[in-house]
C-alpha cells in the first residue's frame, strides 16, 4: 500500500497532520507494507525565492486579520500542536517561497532519507525558529540529517527538482486539493486536512479491505 502526502513545510496543520497520521499508522496491522511518499505543495509559489516576509504581517494581509486575531489563531494552533507532542513557537518568524526546501525533500527521497529530512525542516521552522528559505541554512539542515553537502549544492545549482516540485503541485490540484495536508491512500482514498487519528486509521483499513 502506498500513501502519498502533499504538504508545505510552512503549513502548521501539515506538521500536525503528519503526527496524527503517524499515530494511526503505528496501530495499523499492515504498517510494514505501507510506503509513504511525501509530495510537494506550495501555498505561495509566486513569492520571490530567497526573500522572506514577516509571518504575522503575511497572515494579516492574506486573511484581513487584526493583530489580536493572529495572536489568538497562533495560541490555538500552539495548543493543538502540543497535544501531538509538538512544541510550536509561533511568536515571531518569517515565511517565504518553499521551492528550495521542497527540492531538498525530493533529493532526500532519492537517498532514502525523505521522512527524516522533512521532519528536520518542520522542526527547524516551527520549533527552532530557523529560516528554511536560505539555501545555506537548507544545506546545513540537510547535511545534519544525512544528505551529502555537495549533492544539495548541486541540486540547487541545477534546480534539479524544480520540475518535480511543480508536477507535484499540479497533480495535487488536479486531484482537487485546494490546501494541505492532503493524503491519498493506495491511489483510491483521499483524506483532506489534519484529520483525527481514527479517521486516518479507517482510511488505511478501508484501503486494505479490512473495512467496507
Task: Read off the pLDDT of residues 65-121 as tens digits, 9 standing for 90 and up.
Answer: 999 999 999 999 999 999 999 999 998 789 999 999 999 999 999 999 999 999 999
DSSP state letters, 58-91: HHHHHH---HHHHHHHHHHHHHHHHHTT-----S
Backbone angles phi, psi at 5, to 5 degrees: -125, 110
* Cis bond upstream, residue 181 (ω within 30): yes
Closest CA to 166 of 120, 97, 95, 109: 97
Closest CA to 124 of 98, 152, 154: 98
Homologous superfamily (CATH) of 2-207 is Glutaredoxin (3.40.30.10)
Q: What is the percent of the chain with per-residue pLDDT over 90, rounded to a whole number? A: 94
Does position 211 have pLDDT exceeding 80, yes or no?
no
Half-sphere exposure of 183 (CA within 13 A, CB side): 30
Q: Which residues of 87-119 are buried (b: 16+ CB within 10 A; e: fewer)?
A: ebebeebbbbbbbbbbbbbbbbbeeebbbebbb
> What's the pLDDT score for residue 143?
98
Query: Strands 189-192 and 182-185, how do they pair?
Result: antiparallel
Closest CA to 5 of 35, 46, 45: 35
What are the sequence ranges of the domains in the chain? Answer: 2-207
Q: 212: pLDDT confidence band, cut at 50, 70 and 90?
A: low
Residue whose grid cell is 520540475: 163
The pTM of the full predicted model, rounded to 2 decimals, is 0.96
Mean of the pLDDT values across residues 174-200? 96
**How far apart, in whole angstroms, are the C-alpha atoms of residue 175 and residue 95?**
26
Amino acid at each position: 500500500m502506498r500513501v502519498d502526502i502533499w504538504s508545505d513545510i510552512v503549513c502548521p496543520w501539515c506538521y500536525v497532520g503528519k503526527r496524527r497520521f503517524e499515530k494511526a499508522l503505528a496501530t495499523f496491522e499492515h504498517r510494514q507494507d505501507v510506503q509513504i511518499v511525501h509530495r510537494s505543495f506550495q501555498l505561495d509559489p509566486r513569492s520571490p525565492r530567497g526573500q522572506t516576509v514577516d509571518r504575522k504581517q503575511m497572515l494579516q494581509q492574506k486573511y484581513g486579520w487584526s493583530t489580536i486575531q493572529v495572536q489568538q489563531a497562533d495560541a490555538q494552533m500552539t495548543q493543538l500542536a502540543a497535544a501531538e507532542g509538538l512544541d510550536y513557537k509561533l511568536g515571531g518568524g518569517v515565511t517565504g517561497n518553499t521551492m528550495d526546501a521542497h527540492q531538498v525533500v525530493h533529493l532526500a527521497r532519492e537517498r532514502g532519507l525523505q521522512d527524516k529530512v522533512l521532519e528536520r525542516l518542520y522542526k527547524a521552522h516551527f520549533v527552532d525558529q530557523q529560516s528554511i528559505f536560505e539555501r545555506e541554512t537548507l544545506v546545513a539542515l540537510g547535511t545534519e540529517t544525512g544528505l551529502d553537502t555537495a549533492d544539495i549544492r548541486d541540486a540547487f545549482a541545477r534546480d534539479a527538482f524544480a520540475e518535480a516540485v511543480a508536477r507535484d503541485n499540479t497533480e495535487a490540484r488536479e486531484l482537487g486539493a485546494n490546501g494541505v495536508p492532503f493524503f491519498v491512500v493506495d491511489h483510491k482514498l483521499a483524506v483532506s486536512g489534519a484529520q483525527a487519528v481514527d479517521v486516518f486509521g479507517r482510511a488505511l483499513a478501508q484501503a486494505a479491505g479490512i473495512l467496507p
